[in-house]
């Protein structure tokens, strides 16, 4: 039997603390107008005491498992996309496994920065396609507030914390629904455009995210356009076949450019960056969770997912909901 992966569960968690642009003006030389014009961001969620990469992921996972109508014991594998784990090891996935009481699954983390969810989606999909797992829990969970230099207005205004989760289940390939394909790329020659300096030993006070914003923006437009074209061409699809674009939520200007590129009206592009900022690997599952739960997305809709992050790493996925 040949299987395909279908998205059957969705969940999300955002920290209780909200940091607005006006709040940031008290911390760094910036303004609400400056941030909105360049990024589209109005506010972001930041962890408080007791909220961690694991705790956020656990809450998002519980919601996704419940949405799928499953119990924790139905999960065969746990894949966590994160580059801000609570510990160097063990993996975030096994900490989540313990918290949820999952007995039979195996789990591990994937580190591909903001492209982490797309890379994790491909990994989870391949486990199902090869028959190694029937139900995979995929989570993106990030605590970027840990690695931000709050004196650098070029980066600290861009990011937020949060977690999103999906459950993928095996279905017969005779169905038209499910993950049609994932398309992944990296190019290490651009590694110095977006990175975290320092080492885990200096994680708390000297391990900061650094970014060459204009160059990342330029590569994002080109590479994301190409990887969407790659996905569509592989399935003999055209732009008007797409029902929804679920982009990585990095910058409203990038999101708007990509929506226009594939000729989708703004109401068919899922946007959360204004309220969440860039939550890295958590941004796409958080956006999916919101759009599914408010009934914008329907069964049978064709969704394009895309993301780019440090590495540079980028990818896309075609999903028939």
Which segments within 120-265 are labelled E, that is strand? 135-143, 161-172, 178-186, 194-196, 209-211, 244-247
Candidates 114, 182, 219, 251; catalytic one = 114
Nearest to 277 by CA among 195, 164, 156: 156
Give catalytic status of residue 278 as yes or no. Answer: yes
Nearest to 286 by CA among 139, 146, 168, 169: 139
Nearest to 47 by CA among 140, 153, 154, 160: 160
Candidates 182, 248, 251, 289; catalytic one = 248
Give catalytic status of residue 114 as yes or no. Answer: yes
Candidates 21, 135, 251, 278; catalytic one = 278
- Per residue in 215-254, is it b (16+ CB within 10 Å) or e — as a string? ebbebbeebbeebbeebbeeeeeeeeebbbbbbbbbbbeb
Catalytic (active-site) positions: 114, 248, 278
């Amino acid at each position: 039997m040949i299987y395909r992966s279908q998205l059957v569960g969705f969940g999300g968690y955002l920290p209780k603390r909200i940091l607005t642009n006006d709040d940031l003006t008290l911390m760094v030389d910036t303004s609400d107008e400056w941030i909105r014009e360049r990024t589209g961001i109005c506010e972001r969620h930041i962890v408080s005491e007791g909220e961690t990469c694991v705790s956020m992921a656990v809450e998002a996972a519980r919601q996704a498992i419940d949405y799928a109508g499953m119990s924790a014991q139905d999960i065969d594998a746990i894949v966590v996309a994160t580059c801000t784990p609570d510990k160097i090891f063990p993996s975030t996935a096994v900490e989540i496994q313990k918290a949820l009481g999952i007995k039979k699954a195996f789990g591990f983390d994937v580190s591909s920065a903001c492209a982490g969810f797309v890379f994790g989606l491909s990994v989870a999909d391949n486990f199902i396609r090869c028959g190694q797992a029937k139900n995979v829990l995929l989570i993106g969970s990030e605590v970027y507030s840990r690695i931000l230099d709050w004196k650098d207005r070029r980066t600290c205004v861009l990011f937020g914390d949060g977690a999103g989760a999906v459950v993928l289940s095996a279905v017969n390939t005779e169905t038209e629904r499910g993950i049609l394909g994932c398309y992944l790329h990296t190019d290490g020659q651009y590694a110095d455009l977006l990175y975290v300096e320092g080492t885990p030993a200096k994680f708390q006070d000297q391990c900061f995210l650094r970014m060459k914003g204009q160059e990342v923006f330029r590569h994002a437009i080109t590479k994301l356009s190409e990887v969407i074209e790659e996905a569509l061409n592989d399935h003999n699809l055209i732009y008007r076949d797409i029902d929804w674009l679920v982009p990585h939520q990095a910058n409203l200007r990038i999101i708007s450019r990509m929506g226009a590129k594939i000729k989708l009206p703004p109401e068919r592009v899922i946007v959360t960056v204004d309220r969440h900022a860039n939550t890295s690997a958590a941004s796409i599952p958080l956006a999916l969770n919101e759009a599914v739960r408010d009934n914008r997305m329907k069964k049978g809709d064709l969704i394009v997912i895309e993301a780019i992050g440090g590495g540079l790493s980028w990818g896309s996925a075609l999903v028939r909901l």
